Chains A and B, each alone.
Chain A
Amino acid sequence: MAFYIASIIAILATIMVITRYNMIHALLYLVVSFLAVAVIFFMLGAPFVAALEVIIYAGAIVVLIIFVIMMLNLKEESVEQERKWFSKNIWIGPGILSLVLLGELAYILITSERVLLNNSVVDSKAVGMSLYGPYIIGVELCGLLLMAGIVGAYHLGRQRRKVVHRFLEKAEE
């Protein structure tokens, strides 16, 4: 029962994310969607993943996106523009693709054997053991990717020091 409530909330919220014109409102629905997914994870016996979903996705990433949108300070013009872009024709392409995916998913669900979830709780220790055991290569790759991201951000954010003086103006490295 609780699972169905949470999943309906997740689906509704995600639909709202797509259909809102105002970006901040869309992002707020995205947060609700993440929270609902976290509840589903929790019920499926993965409390650690649920907590991380809230901390990282709902708590950090969406906050950063909102931060950027606030910096751009989009007002009514952007809402208008979104409304213009959001025409009927734009639905066709993604709609067909998602229908194909949905069909595929339904086919797989019907034909494959059903695996009952045994309600075993996967605690943080088990997550850590599998991450640093069989999946160590994935962790390392993520680390490399993040490192590259940090170096890139540093490069973009670097400021050239500029000496402002009446007589001599030179740009230092």
Chain B
Amino acid sequence: MSPAIIVVCVLGGLLLVAPGLIWVERRLLAVWQDRYGPNRAGPLGLLVVLADTLKLFFKEDWIPPFADKKVFVMAPAIVVITVLMSFVIVPFSPGFIVVDLNIGLLFFLAMSSMGAYSIILGGWASNNKYSLLGAMRGAAQMISYEVFMGLSLMGVVLITGSFSLHDIVEAQRNMWFVVPQFLGFVIFLIAGIAETHRLPFDIPEAESELIAGFHSEYSGMKFGMFFVGEYIGIMLISCMVTCLFFGGWLGPAFLPPIVWFILKMFAFIALFILLRASLPRPRYDQLMEFGWKILLPLSLLNVMVTAAIILWNENPQ
């Protein structure tokens, strides 16, 4: 398949599925909270997606007079750009990948660290105390959780011996990496939730204390961009978990590889939503303490033990 077709497929698919996730999230939350959720507009309430999107498009797009206009406009674009760029290296099935970079994982980490700018700049440009607080929380949270995110992946890289996601998936033919790298998987999942600032780690926006934090001044489609960026971010983390720890497109042959990939991805999206439905939000200092005092030593330990076992297997004394 030519790269142009793949790019169009991936981009179109993502931008179509991202608003659809709003519906999925609301329905699933309703199931777990024992209520109906949106079920009136269209079959199963599916038209709610259309209504939501139209509403966002026609809302008044307002830039506060006290805001830094250029930065204010730029911030929502950054989150969508960086998240979409990360999808460049995700292998959906053998051959269905935009570019198979040999530094694939590093590219993903680089893009997710660039994503922090959208929160910081959005909050700073809004020129509003709540937004600034949200932005500072977001910056601290994303920088610290990036560290464990990178470290937790190093176990997988050590076993595979490559940063390329294609190679990593291929290396899981015998056993999914979730078995030998269970600790890495748990740390990566937690760090991934913190990176996408989803509940329970949504303290940069925390409605109840910061009235939506870094995006409280945003309206209309600019807010929509943050929203879409967040949902695509969830998909990205789900894709990465699938590729890195759950064998990517590998699965029994009665389904084509891409179907396996999408099934696994949606399972993790559902997990993200279940976490939102069930966990309370930690306090800010608790979050940082948990990260630096528990996750950092654990992820270092994980890297050390993995490396030691690999060395031992290579030349047992």
| Chain A residues in the interface with B (C-beta under 8 A) | 22, 24-25, 28, 31, 47-48, 50-52, 54-55, 58-60, 63-64, 66-67, 70-71, 73, 121, 123-124
Contacts and interface: CB of A to CB of B under 8 A. Distances in A.
Contacts of A123: 102
Given A28-B71, A47-B101, A51-B107, A70 B124 contact: yes
Given A66-B139, A121-B102, A123-B102, 12 more contacts: A31-B117, A50-B103, A54-B113, A55-B110, A60-B143, A67-B139, A70-B120, A70-B123, A70-B124, A70-B135, A70-B139, A73-B132
Contact of B136 (A28, A31, A47, A70): A70
B135 A24 contact: no
B116 interface: yes
A24 B132 CA distance: 14
Contacts of A70: 120, 123-124, 132, 135-136, 139
Contacts of B271: none
A66 B101 contact: no
Contacts of B140: 67
A63 B101 contact: no
Contacts of A64: 143
Q: Which 5 A-B pairs have the closest CB atoms?
A: A59-B113, A51-B106, A54-B110, A47-B103, A55-B110
A63 to B, nearest CB: 5
A51 B163 CA distance: 11
Interface string B123-139: 11000000010011001
Interface in B134-193: 135-136, 139-140, 142-143, 146, 150, 163
Interface string B97-124: 0000111001101100110110011011
How many B residues touch the partner, as a band? 20 to 34
23 contacts: A24-B68, A24-B71, A47-B101, A48-B103, A50-B103, A51-B103, A52-B106, A55-B106, A55-B113, A58-B114, A59-B110, A59-B116, A60-B143, A60-B146, A63-B116, A63-B120, A66-B124, A66-B139, A67-B136, A67-B139, A70-B135, A124-B102, A124-B163
Contacts of B139: 63, 66-67, 70
**Counting chain A CB atoms within 10 Å of each CB, which of B103, B116, B135 scores highest?**
B103
A8 B253 CA distance: 51
Contacts of B103: 47-48, 50-51, 124
Nearest to A54: B110
Nearest to B116: A63
The B contact surface, by secondary structure, is: helix
A116 to B, nearest CB: 24
Contact of B109 (A47, A50, A55, A71): A55
Contacts of B163: 124
A36 B113 CA distance: 16
Nearest to A50: B103
A154 B167 CA distance: 41
Interface in B227-254: none
Interface string B249-287: 000000000000000000000000000000000000000
B106 A63 contact: no
A60 B71 contact: no
A36 to B, nearest CB: 14
Given A58-B114, A70-B132, A71-B136, A63 B71 contact: no
Nearest to B110: A54
Nearest to B129: A73
A47 B162 CA distance: 13
B113 A25 contact: no
Interface string B60-78: 0000000010110000000
A66 B104 CA distance: 28
Nearest to B104: A51
Nearest to B161: A125
A73 to B, nearest CB: 7
Nearest to B142: A63
Nearest to B124: A70
Interface in B63-95: 68, 70-71
Contacts of B116: 59, 63
Nearest to B123: A70
Contacts of B107: 51
A107 to B, nearest CB: 36
